[in-house]
Structure formats: structure tokens, C-alpha cells
Structure 1
Amino acid sequence: MTYRADTARYDTMQYRRSGRSGLKLPVISLGLWQNFGGTRDYPSAMEILGYAFDQGITHFDLANNYGPPAGASEELFGQVMARDFRPYRDELIISTKAGYTMWPGPYGDFGSRKYLLASLDQSLKRMGLDYVDIFYSHRYDPETPLEETMGALAQAVRSGKALYVGISSYPEKETRQAHAILKDMGIATTIHQPSYSMINRWIENDHTIDACGELGIGIIAFSPLAQGVLSGKYNAGGTEGTRGGNPNGTLRASHIEPRVLDAVGKVAEIARSRGQSMVQLALSWALRRPEMTSALIGVRNLDQLKDNLGVLNNLSLSADEVEAIDAATKDGQMELHPRPSGWLR
């Protein structure tokens, strides 16, 4: 059966401008990081992606290394584009990134012009697209001149292969430098994608969030649920079938140690008092500041997607609630900070 988008798809979603650009994103965007790899079949993928678009989620976030295996998420999304989403291409914001290892040798990762532009071409081929809406430098490369990395992003725009460019997991100093370099080239730094949640506040602690607000760069938070920790599922005990149960995964034992789970338990009480799920409260919190454009979610199934979308019923937080969350999570922070070696991605 041919997919036809819901005619009411824009009735309930809220959209925010990305910094001082003309680009608006839904407050909830859908990422294809860990749940749309080689084990996901087309029908289940389309069930989630189609429902998301029907609810006004216009932004789908990918990267060259998303899977597993690397590239699989883009390939699957390419099938969705070809079979079902093609008539709606101009309603969609599709983003991808390059920065992590994709092929052997010295040109297969980090931030060189050689790697970034070759990777973008490969991503476009996997997705069957002429251009992406946003192309990111996925991580800061301390060994490549930032002028070269930003020059590659500028070339992506000038060649018509990307409409906007952004950076991901760049600390404050490098965020400011990247913005200045691109500005000199006549290209805007439209968006920054850092990890951010009530138990992972590095962008507040190093003032990256303040820099983005000052410079007019939008922010889209990844891992606003701290990879599922803020859903409360780890408080129930057991990690089988979760990221916490994968020894080679991105969720570390330190992320679910007792002090963190104790903080999550306290947050659960605040969520109950608001009549929200923990997921919804975590998203409300991540979106509370004016610098925030969108929160990037990842889901395994339709029920999780519906739970996430329930945040639209109550996005506001009072000053007292924010203060209570600060107190509840004070001793449960993950204390993460971006490192060139990579983390969480």
C-alpha cells in the first residue's frame, strides 16, 4: 500500500527557529542512531518513520556511521525515501554527519577535507539524495586545522550538496572558532548538536550553550534521555536487551551506577506529580531554555515514539520544578565532556 501522509500532520507539532537562521525544526526530531541498523526490517522502520511524519516530525537525523553496521541506517532511510517519502522531500529536513571511522587508512575519519567531502558523497548515494538539508562535522579534530574542516563544510554548501551546516560535540572555544571561520567564508553555523540532559550538563558547565545563544546558533540535543537512563528502565533492575546490557555499547557501567539511579528515582517522583512519564519530563527539561531548538529522540518501537510525543501536552516547567530537578540530580551527574577520541557516538 502506498504511503499517504496524514493531512493533519502539522496540527499539533511545535516548531522553533534554529538560532538566527530561517530554518525551523520540530521540537521533537527523530534520530536513527542505534535502532535503524541491519536488524531493522522495512515494515517496522516505515511504521515508526511514517507515524513520526504524520505527527509533524519533519526532521530525521542520521550519520555515516549509524547502524550497525556503519552505513546501514542511511541505506534503510534511502529505501524509505525511494518507496514512500519521495513526494514529501521538500517537507523534510534530512541531516547527516561525518567524523568517526568509516574506512581504513588515514582518510577514513576525523575532520580532513578529503574525508568529509568523500563521506558526504557516500551518504548521498546511500540515501539516494541530491543534497542533505544539514551536514555536520561530527566531532572536533585537534590534528586538522579548523579552517580546513570548516572549509569542507563551506564547500558542501557551495556545491549544493548541503543547504545548512553544523557542528556536533564541539566545546565552547572550538564552537566560537568554527563560527568565526565559517562567518569569514560567508557561511552560517546554523546548528550545534551536543549531548544534553538533566544528568549530563556539560554544555552548561563549559558555557557552550551560552556561546550558541550569543552567536545565534541553534541547538539540538542528542541523548536528552541519557540513552534511556532517564526513562527509569534501569531502576527496575536488569539490563538484558538494553544498551546497558551490551558490553560493546555506548552506555557505560558508570552511567547506571547507584548515585545516578538514585537521582533518576527522585526525578520520577517529580514526573508523577506533573502527570507525565519520566521521558516526557526529561524532554520538557531539555527544551526549557530559549537556546534550544529541538530534542533528538531515538526509539525502538511505536509505543516509545508515542510516549515521547506526549511531551507536547505539557512543555512548560515552573521555576520551582526546575529547582526541584536541580536538587534531585545534583549528585547524579554523568559529568561527560566531548573528547576527540569519541564518546556516546
Structure 2
Amino acid sequence: MTYRADNARYDSMVYRRAGKSGLKLPAISLGLWQNFGGTRDYPSAMEILGYAFDKGITHFDLANNYGPPAGSSEELFGQVMARDFRPYRDEMIISTKAGYNMWPGPYGEWGSRKYVLASLDQSLKRLGLDYVDIFYSHRFDPDTPLEETMGALAHAVNSGKALYVGISSYPEAQTREAHRILKEMGVATTLHQPSYSVLNRWIEDDHTIDACGELGIGMIAFSPLAQGVLSGKYNKGKVEGTRGENPQGSLRASHIEPRVLAAVDRLGEIAASRGQSMVQLALAWVLRRPEMTSALIGVRTLDQLKDNLGALDNLDFTPEEIAAIDEATKDGLMELQPRPQGWLR
């Protein structure tokens, strides 16, 4: 049966402008990082993606290395575009990134013009698209001149292969410099995609979020649930079938140590007092900042997606609630900072 979008798909979603641009994103965007790779079959993928679009999620976020294996998320989404989403292409924002390892040799990762533009061409082929709406530099490359990496992003826009460009996980100084370079090239830095959650506040600590607000760069937070820690599942000792099952994966042991889980328990009490799930509290907290355009979620099941979307029912906090959340988490922060190697994305 051919997918047909719900006529009421725009009735309940909140849309926010990305910085000073004309682009609006849904307050909740869907990422295909770890749950839409080679192990996901088409029917279960379409169940989630179709429901998301029916609820107003117009933004689908990918990267060249998303899977596993790398490239498989783009391939799967390309199949969805070809079979079901094609009539709605102009209603969608599709993003991808380049920065992490994709093929052997010296041109297979980081930020050289050679790698960035070759990766974009490969991504477009996997997606079956002529262009993406947003193309990101996935991580700052300390060994390549920033002018070269930003020049590659500018070329992507000027060649029509990307409508907007952005950066991901760039610290404040590099964010400001990337913005300056692109502006001189006549291209806007539309979005910054950092990790950010109530337990991971590095963009506040190093003032990246303030810089983006000052410069008119929109922000979209990845891992707003701290790799699932803020779902509360690790407090119940659940590891099987989660990211915590793989010691080499993106969830570190330090992310689920007792002091962190104690903070999650305290947050759970605050969420209950607001009539929200832990997940809904965490997403609403990220979206409380005016600089934050969207929260980027990743889900394995349709029920998880529905729970996430429930955050939209209560996005407001009183000053007392904000103070209580700060007190609850002060001893449980993950103390993450961007580094040249970047996060495992």
C-alpha cells in the first residue's frame, strides 16, 4: 500500500526559525543515527518515519557514517524517499554530514575539500537526491585550515547540492571563526548541531550557545536524552538491547555511574510533578532556550516516538522548576567537552 500523508500533519507541531535564516524546523526532529541501519527492515522503518511525518516532523537528520554499517541509514532513507516519501520531498528537510571515517586512506575522513565534497556526492547517491537541505561539517578538523573546510561547504551551496550548511560539535572559538569565513564567502552558517542535555551542558559552559545566539546561528541538539540515560532505563539495570551493552559504543561507563543515575532519579520526581515522563521533561528542558531551534531524537520503536512527541504538550518551566532541575543535576553532570577526535558519530 502506498503511503499517503495525514492531512492534519501540521496541526500539532511547533515550528521554530533557525537563527536569523528563513528556515523553520519542527521543535522535534528525527535522527537516523543508530536505529535505522542494516538491521532495520523497511516496514518497521516506514512505520516510524511515516508516523513522524504525519505528526509534523518534517526534518530527518542523517550522516554519511550512520548505520551500522556506515552508509546504511542513508541507503534505507533513500529507499523510503523512492517508494513512499517522493511526493512530499518539498515538505521535508533532509540533512547529512561529513567528517567521520568512511573509506580507507588519507581522504576518507576529517575536513579536507577532497573528502567533504566526495562524501557529499556519495551521500546524494545513497539518498537518491539531487540535493540535501542541510549539509554539515560533522566535526572540527584541527589539521586542515578552516578556510578549506568552510570553502567546501560554500561550494556545496553554490553548486546547488545543499540549500543550507552548518557545523556540528564545534567549540565556541571555532564556531565564531567558521561563521566569519563563511560570511566572507557569502554563505550563512545556518545551524550548529552540538550534543546537549540536562546532564551535558558543555555548550553553556564554553558559551557556544551564547555565540550562536549572538551570530544568528540556529541550534539543534543531538543526544538530548544523553544516549538514553534520561529515559531512566539504566536506573532499572536495563542494559540488554541498549547502547550500554557495547563497551566500545557511544555510551561510556562514566555516563551511567551512580552519581549520574542518582541525578536521573531526582529528575524523575520533578517530571512526575509536571505530569510528564522523564523523556518529555528532558526534551522540554533542551527546548527552553530561545537559541535552540530543535531537539533531535533517535527512537527504536513507535511507542518511544509517541512518548517523545508528548513533550510538546508542556514546554514551559517556572523559575522554581528550573532551579529544582539545576539542584537535582549539579552532582550528576557528564562533564563532556568537544575534543579534536570528536564523539563517536
TM-score using structure 2 length: 1.00
Are 1:65 and 1:101, in contact at CA under 8 Å, matched by a contact in 2? yes
Tell me the residue number matched to 1:70: 70
Give how far 1:344 is off. Answer: 4.0
Question: 2 CA distance for matches of 1:24 and 1:77?
Answer: 22
Give the CA RMSD over aligned residues. Answer: 0.5
Q: Give the letter aligned to residue 340 of structure 2.
A: P
Tell me the residue number matched to 2:220: 220
Tell me the residue number matched to 1:58: 58
Are 2:15 and 2:26, in contact at CA under 8 Å, matched by a contact in 1? yes
Question: 1 CA distance for matches of 2:64 and 2:52?
Answer: 22
Q: Give the letter aligned to residue 285 of structure 1.
A: W
Question: 1 CA distance for matches of 2:207 and 2:320?
Answer: 23
Question: 1 CA distance for matches of 2:335 and 2:232?
Answer: 19
Question: 1 CA distance for matches of 2:280 and 2:175?
Answer: 29
Give how far 1:343 is off. Answer: 1.5
After superposition, the C-alpha distances for 1:245-273 in whole angstroms (9 at most, x for unaligned) are 11221001000000000000000000000
Are 1:220 and 1:296, in contact at CA under 8 Å, matched by a contact in 2? yes
Tell me the residue number matched to 2:310: 310
Are 2:261 and 2:332, in contact at CA under 8 Å, matched by a contact in 1? yes
Question: 2 CA distance for matches of 1:338 and 1:32?
Answer: 22
TM-score using structure 1 length: 1.00
Tell me the residue number matched to 1:340: 340
Are 1:230 and 1:282, in contact at CA under 8 Å, matched by a contact in 2? yes
Give how far 1:331 is off. Answer: 0.5
Are 1:96 and 1:132, in contact at CA under 8 Å, matched by a contact in 2? yes
After superposition, the C-alpha distances for 1:60-83 in whole angstroms (9 at most, x for unaligned) are 000000000000000000000000
Bigger Cα displacement from structure 2, 310-319 vs 292-301:
310-319
Tell me the residue number matched to 1:133: 133
After superposition, the C-alpha distances for 1:130-174 in whole angstroms (9 at most, x for unaligned) are 000000000000000000000000000000000000000000000
Q: Which structure 2 segments of 5+ residues have no match?
A: none
Are 1:30 and 1:297, in contact at CA under 8 Å, matched by a contact in 2? yes
Equivalent runs, 1:11-90 vs 2, <5 Å:
11-90=11-90
Tell me the residue number matched to 2:269: 269
Give the secondary structure class of the aligned counterpart of 2:327.
helix
Tell me the residue number matched to 1:329: 329
After superposition, the C-alpha distances for 1:101-146 in whole angstroms (9 at most, x for unaligned) are 0001000000000000000000000000000000000000000000
Are 1:251 and 1:344, in contact at CA under 8 Å, matched by a contact in 2? no
Give how far 1:227 is off. Answer: 0.6
Tell me the residue number matched to 2:104: 104
Tell me the residue number matched to 1:293: 293
Give the secondary structure class of the aligned counterpart of 2:247.
coil
Give how far 1:238 is off. Answer: 3.2
Question: 1 CA distance for matches of 2:305 and 2:319?
Answer: 28
Are 2:262 and 2:332, in contact at CA under 8 Å, matched by a contact in 1? yes
Question: 2 CA distance for matches of 1:344 and 1:286?
Answer: 21
Question: 2 CA distance for matches of 1:293 and 1:344?
Answer: 23
Question: 2 CA distance for matches of 1:107 and 1:22?
Answer: 34
Are 1:100 and 1:110, in contact at CA under 8 Å, matched by a contact in 2? yes
Question: 2 CA distance for matches of 1:177 and 1:342?
Answer: 18
Q: Give the letter aligned to residue 119 of structure 2.
A: S
Give the secondary structure class of the aligned counterpart of 2:134.
strand
- The reply to whether residue 144 of structure 1 matches residue 141 of structure 2 is no
Q: Give the letter aligned to residue 215 of structure 2.
A: L
Q: Which structure 1 segments of 5+ residues have no match?
A: none
Question: 2 CA distance for matches of 1:311 and 1:341?
Answer: 33
Question: 2 CA distance for matches of 1:340 and 1:36?
Answer: 27
After superposition, the C-alpha distances for 1:165-202 in whole angstroms (9 at most, x for unaligned) are 00000000000000000000000000000000000000
Give how far 1:8 is off. Answer: 0.1
Are 2:58 and 2:91, in contact at CA under 8 Å, matched by a contact in 1? yes
Give the secondary structure class of the aligned counterpart of 2:238.
coil
Tell me the residue number matched to 1:172: 172
Q: Sequence identity of aligned pairs in percent?
A: 83
Tell me the residue number matched to 1:235: 235
Question: 1 CA distance for matches of 2:294 and 2:301?
Answer: 21
Q: Give the letter aligned to residue 326 of structure 1.
A: D
Question: 2 CA distance for matches of 1:265 and 1:32?
Answer: 28
Question: 2 CA distance for matches of 1:89 and 1:242?
Answer: 33
Tell me the residue number matched to 2:2: 2
Q: Give the letter aligned to residue 44 of structure 2.
A: S
After superposition, the C-alpha distances for 1:280-305 in whole angstroms (9 at most, x for unaligned) are 00000000010000000000010000
Give the secondary structure class of the aligned counterpart of 1:81.
helix
Tell me the residue number matched to 2:183: 183
Are 2:169 and 2:342, in contact at CA under 8 Å, matched by a contact in 1? no
Question: 2 CA distance for matches of 1:210 and 1:184?
Answer: 21
Give the secondary structure class of the aligned counterpart of 1:8.
coil
Question: 2 CA distance for matches of 1:239 and 1:7?
Answer: 39
